[in-house]
């Protein structure tokens, strides 16, 4: 699929709504997105603190660092009208808990007018420790 055949998600966005559990009220969250044929670079800024990850589209894994500083891997898939971005980190839910692997999947979709970005999140862990995290949706408006 050529770049001309799919939506570009490049641009700046501000979080305007959330459906499901998410950040505390008053948290300011923005995204800056740079998409190429090879990858998508996402800079997520939460209350003024930027976190940048590059999700490769070639099936290889990139380096991922969560907002909490946990390192893992990431990759992306570019479809005609949406993106799938995935990350995997190994962490401890609590100091004395055993290590668990957490797989986060994001499905990105742009509105027809390209002004609204909807990101649907799901979190999965082979260990039952984190399976209580419910899916949520973030809604952003293009700046």
Question: What is the per-residue pLDDT for 131?
Answer: 55
Question: What is the per-residue pLDDT for 72?
Answer: 97
Rounded CA-CA distance 105/123 in Å is 6
φ, ψ dihedrals at 23, nearest 5°: -60, 160
Q: Residue 2: which pLDDT band, with cuts at 50, 70 and 90?
A: very low
Q: Whole-structure pTM over 0.85, yes or no?
A: yes
Give 5-21 pLDDT, tens digit per residue.
456 899 999 999 988 76
Which domains, and CATH codes, for the chain? 10-142 (2.40.128.20)
Give 53-109 pLDDT, tens digit per residue.
999 999 999 999 998 899 999 999 988 889 999 999 998 877 888 888 889 999 999
27 vs 110: which has the higher pLDDT: 110
Tokens (6 digits) for 48 = 């003024």
């Amino acid at each position: 699929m050529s770049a001309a055949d799919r939506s570009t998600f490049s641009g700046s966005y501000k979080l305007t709504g959330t459906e499901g559990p998410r950040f505390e009220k008053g948290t300011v969250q923005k995204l800056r997105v740079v998409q190429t044929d090879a990858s998508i670079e996402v800079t997520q800024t939460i209350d003024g603190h930027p976190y940048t990850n590059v999700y490769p589209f070639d099936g290889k894994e990139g380096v991922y660092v969560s907002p909490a500083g946990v390192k893992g891997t990431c990759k992306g898939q570019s479809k005609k009208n949406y993106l799938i971005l995935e990350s995997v980190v190994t962490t401890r839910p609590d100091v004395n808990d055993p290590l668990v692997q957490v797989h986060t999947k994001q499905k990105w979709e742009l509105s027809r007018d390209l002004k609204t970005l909807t990101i649907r999140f799901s979190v999965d862990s082979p260990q039952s420790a984190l399976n209580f995290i419910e899916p949520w949706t973030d809604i952003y408006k293009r700046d």
